[in-house]
Amino acid sequence: MGGGEHGAEGFRTKVWSMSGGPYCRPKHWRRNTAISMFGVFLICIPIAMKSAELEQRPHQPVRPTPSQLWCKNFVNKDY
């Protein structure tokens, strides 16, 4: 129908795009993914620690929440 190279399935086999086309397999993708995940954790862990440090709950929750384990407002663990 249109121009371009078509494969047996009827769609273009050679597609140029910035992301690499439909069968993108960049070089060292595992290493790049590991580096980016390390960067995400490197940024998120200090933010989570600061958030836990600043957390305050003025009222007792209706049921237990995970943040009660590190929130300073709940000194006694009677829940």
Over residues 16-39, the pLDDT tens digits come to 666 666 666 778 888 999 999 999
6 bridge partner residues: 12
Mean pLDDT computed over 47-73: 81
pLDDT at 12: 62
Question: What DSSP character marks residue 3?
Answer: S
Q: Which tops the pLDDT comparison, 57 or 47?
A: 47
Report how far apart, in Å, the C-alpha atoms of 21 and of each of 16, 38, 44, 67 are: 6, 27, 32, 44
- Of residues 77 and 45, the one with the higher pLDDT is 45
* CA dist 44 → 4, 15, 17, 40, 66 (Å): 46, 37, 32, 6, 18
**DSSP collapsed to 3 states, 5-50:** CECCCCCECCCCCCCCCCCCCCCCHHHHHHHHHHHHHHHHHHHHHH
Confidence band for 79, pLDDT divided at 50, 70 and 90: very low
pLDDT at 45: 95
Whole-number pLDDT of residue 35: 95
